[in-house]
Structure formats: C-alpha cells, structure tokens
Amino acid sequence: MILLTGGAGFIGSVLLKELNNIGREDIVVVDRLRDGVKWLNLRGLKFQEYILADELFDGDHDDVLSEITCIFHMGACSATTERDVDYLMKNNVVYSQNLFHIALNRDIPFIYASSAATYGAGEHGYCDNEKEISKLRPLNPYGWSKQLFDEWVLRQKEKPTKWFGVKFFNVYGPNEYHKADMRSLVHKAFGQINEIGMVKLFKSHKEGYEDGKQLRDFVYGPDVALAMIEMMKTSNVQASGIYNLGTGKARSFYDLMMATFDAMNVPAKVEFIDMPMSIRNQYQYFTEADMTKFFKLFPKFKFRSVEEGVGDYVKNYLLKEDPHY
C-alpha cells in the first residue's frame, strides 16, 4: 500500500492519477482539503483511504501505517511568500522527519518533494551534487525549510534502502487551480487572455536580458509524476539521492506565453510592466536544472517541451468543461 501525502494537491493528485493508470489503487491519501476547490482534484480518482494530515500521527492510524510499502511525500506548505517560519518548520521539516523514520523503520521506498527554491539566486549553479548542497543559500523561508530537510536526510547514518529527494523546478499543469497566486503563469495567462485578450509580463531590469526573456526551467506536471513513478520502480537502489526535476532546458517567459496564445488559437498580445520594487532585487533571471544525474539513471525518459506541455494543458484541460487531470 502506498502512502501519498499532499495527494489532493497539484503534483500529488496528478501522481495519484498516474498511479491509478498503472493499476495502483491501494493508496492512502493524506492532505488538508479545507473548504476550497482542492477536493475536485480527487474527484474520479481511486484510493483506499483519506486521512487528514494533522491526524496521521495521532495513533489512530498505526494499523494503516503498518501496511505501507512505499511513501510519496508531496505534502508541504509550498508558498514561497510564507513568512511564518515556525509553521514551515512544523510542516516542512518535522513532519517530513516523522515520515522518513517510518520509511527507515520499515525499510520502504521514500520519495519526497524538495524544491529548486533551495538554489537561492543560483550563485552556485543548479547542480544536484549532494556534496555542494551545504553551500546553497535559499532566498525565502520556504526554500530554507526544504534545504534544512535535504541536509538533515544527508546527515542520517541510516537511510531507507531506496530514497529520492526531488527538486522541482517551475512546474505547470492541470490541478494547480487551487493554488491562488502560486499558480503557474500559464494558468494566470489563460485567465488574462480570456478576460482582456492579452497578457502582462515583467520588464527586464537587468542588462543582457530583454523584456520577457527572463529564463526558467518550465516542466510539465504529468512528466514530473511519471518521473517519480520511475524512481519508485527502479531496482537501482545505489542511485538513491537528491535529484533535480526540470527539463534541463531553460526557456523564456515570452516563449511560455507564445505557446499559450498558440494553444488557445488567439493572436498574441503582450504588455510589459514594471517589476515591483519589493521583488526586483531578489528576482531570478535564469534557472535551469542540471539533469545529468537524472538522465544517467533514466536515459530513455522524455520531458515534453514548453510547446508540447502547454499545448496539452490548454487544449486537453483548460479548454474543457472539467479541466482536472
């Protein structure tokens, strides 16, 4: 039986669907649904049990935990704007440590979400070499909380036989609809185009970058889910470690918007606006995952391009009556 935390969230629910697609329905979903639209991500998906995240370790679910054979830990506070650091420590570090100990004691695969936010301004590059992780300086408390757990895992003398920490880069795709300001620019642009027929992008305030030509490693959510399933399935336990999950190819925000206009079959119109001073000094102009380690382990894996991913997202989800995965 698989334990999937954050199973109602963006990446977690897409992962749940892909697990269903390979015949896995013996899944325990752990999350907090609250009163929003997040529950819609679970509608139509198959799982054995749902447990409120705050109740997982209260002792009432020890019988369930005793049957778990794999843990996907996608649950966390993922808001890069969160400033309650005690909350982040409780949710992103201590909670993760508890799950790690379960995986260790049962010696079952443990696959957890880290983040590219750990790389900070990218002054040390974007290589997932574990020997370099201690040098990273995240720019916000969220990234720092993920960095703390990565370093804590690496310090443990005993680890599960198979474990992977995955550093997500700029993930976009279906089931992100509940994320408010943390949604991808594709979904935000889709709304802008429908409302005003155009999109607004930040101007560049850095020499060498034209307006809209700031670069990110945009990766499609379903591809991320499929990559983690490959990690679950691999028999190469010596490959355990921390891995980047991007495409390895940085693309501009302008490229992302052109792909969105094209998929919507709408003439492109972009307005460039000043970047707020509050984020200007810490804004990243380039991120790109070094995927060398990943492709050494999974040489045949294919990530969709921006055009392919955005095209699928818009045409097969956003333009449909039910946009869920």
Helix (H, G, I), strand (E, B) or coil at 129: coil
- Whether 179 sits among the annotated catalytic residues: the reply is yes
Q: Point out which residues pair with 166 in neighbouring strands.
A: 113, 243
Q: Which of 46, 50, 159, 179 is catalytic?
A: 179
Per-residue pLDDT at 10: 98
Query: Mean pLDDT across the chain, nearest whole number?
Result: 96
Statement: residue 81 has pLDDT above 80: no
- The dihedral through the CA atoms of 42, 43, 47, 53 has a sign that is positive
pLDDT tens by residue, 123-146: 999 999 999 999 999 989 999 999
Compute the average pLDDT of residues 101-113: 98
Helix (H, G, I), strand (E, B) or coil at 167: strand
The arrangement of secondary structure in 173-215+250-287+310-318, i.e. its CATH architecture, is Alpha-Beta Complex (3.90)
Strand pairing class (251-252; 215-216):
antiparallel
Domain positions in the chain are: 2-171+219-247+289-304, 173-215+250-287+310-318
Q: Are 117 and 143 in contact (CB under 8 A)?
A: yes
Query: What's the alpha-carbon Rg for the chain, to the nearest Å?
Result: 19
Q: Are 30 and 75 in contact (CB under 8 A)?
A: yes
Q: Tokens representing 91?
A: 């949710």
Q: Tokens representing 291?
A: 């995927």
pLDDT tens by residue, 170-192: 999 999 999 999 999 999 999 99
Q: Tokens representing 2?
A: 């698989």
Task: Tell whether domain 2-171+219-247+289-304 is in CATH 3.40.50.720.
Answer: yes
Per-residue pLDDT at 43: 97
What one-character-per-residue DSSP string does 208-256 give? T--TT--EE-EEEHHHHHHHHHHHHH---GGG-EEEEES-S--EEHHHH
- Burial class for 265, CB neighbours closer than 10 Å (0-12, 13-18, 19+): exposed
Per-residue pLDDT at 278: 84
Q: Which of 142, 172, 177, 220 is catalytic?
A: 142
- Whether 142 sits among the annotated catalytic residues: the reply is yes
Per-residue pLDDT at 79: 74
Per-residue pLDDT at 83: 83
pLDDT tens by residue, 257-303: 999 999 999 999 999 999 999 888 778 899 999 999 999 999 999 99
Strand pairing class (215-216; 2-5):
unpaired
**pTM of the predicted structure, to 2 decimals:** 0.96
Side-chain half-sphere CA neighbours of 290 within 13 A = 12
Closest CA to 197 of 271, 275, 273: 271
Per-residue pLDDT at 282: 78
Please, which pLDDT band fits residue 77 given cuts at 50, 70 and 90? confident
Helix (H, G, I), strand (E, B) or coil at 173: coil
